[in-house]
Amino acid sequence: EDKVVQSPLSLVVHEGDTVTLNCSYEVTNFRSLLWYKQEKKAPTFLFMLTSSGIEKKSGRLSSILDKKELFSILNITATQTGDSAVYLCAAGAGSYQLTFGKGTKLSVIP
């Protein structure tokens, strides 16, 4: 059975801190690794990674994939209270659907 494991499950940091969120996966016929941010409603897309070692960046957020170690990280630098959310990692495999991890709940306090 396909599996995605995220750590930590929750994290509390102060504004300005840098955080690293972890995601490991075991899926058959892996195709892509996606990160989503979920605040109150729908998960919103952050990154899709398909190649090892190529960092993707968007502002203060960045992510990288290691296909050998079956691992991805999401970094957020200079955190702000608006970064508080649940961050979801998902692996796309041979079948259609994404398999999600249980998420990391990030709380950024002023």
How many residues interact with other proteins (rule CB under 8 A)? Answer: 24
Interface pick for other proteins out of 16, 45, 51, 54 (rule CB under 8 A): 45
Nearer to other proteins, 24 or 38 (CB): 38
| 3-class state of residue 52 by DSSP | coil
Residue-wise DSSP of 53-68:
T--EEETTEEEEEETT
> CB under 8 Å to 98, separation ≥6 — which residues?
34, 90, 91, 92
Torsion of CA 28, 31, 35, 36, to 10 degrees: -90
Interface pick for other proteins out of 43, 65, 72, 106 (rule CB under 8 A): 43
Identify residues 73-92 at the interface with other proteins (CB under 8 A): 86, 88, 90, 92
Nearer to other proteins, 14 or 41 (CB): 41
The residues of the shown chain that bind other proteins, judged by CB under 8 A, are 31-32, 34, 36, 38, 41-45, 48, 86, 88, 90, 92, 95-100, 102-103, 105
